[in-house]
Amino acid sequence: MPEETKKLTVEDPVEPELLKKLAELRDSRLRIGDQILDLESEKVRLMVAVRQIDMEKQRSFEKILMDRGLPPTFPVEIDGQTGKIKPLAPPPEIPPEAPAEPAAP
């Protein structure tokens, strides 16, 4: 005859093997949580570095444009091999400079 399993009640303690397994699972989850926090910290550090690179790139583009009399946000394409600049929009009209007014007598 197969052995009958005893019906457990809330008065029966949890088996030590199962308690050990639950503790191992909790510890594994905490280790993974720590690893996720480490990854998030690294992600933030990398995002800060990328932001600095992007800002330097933007300043470089602005200098290129402004040195050529274009607004800093003017859309252009720059050939990485030749350095030639191709405008992606018609150049903005620059109003002619007003002649200097004669000095008052």
39 inside domain = yes
pLDDT at 48: 98
36 inside domain = yes
Give residue 57's domain range. 16-87
What pTM was computed for the model? Answer: 0.58
When divided into structural domains, the chain yields a total of 1
pLDDT at 101: 67
40 inside domain = yes
10 inside domain = no
HSE-CB for 87 with a 13 A CA cutoff: 11
| β-bridge mates for residue 87, sequence order | 76
70 inside domain = yes
Distance from C-alpha of 49 to C-alpha of 9, rounded to nearest angstrom: 58
Give the mean pLDDT per block of 10 residues along the chain (105 residues): 77 94 98 98 98 96 92 91 90 65 62
Residue 86's identity, in one-letter code, is K
103 inside domain = no
pLDDT at 98: 60
Angle at 59 between CA 55 and CA 60, to 5 degrees: 115
6 inside domain = no
Contact 78, 64 (CB under 8 A): yes
31 inside domain = yes
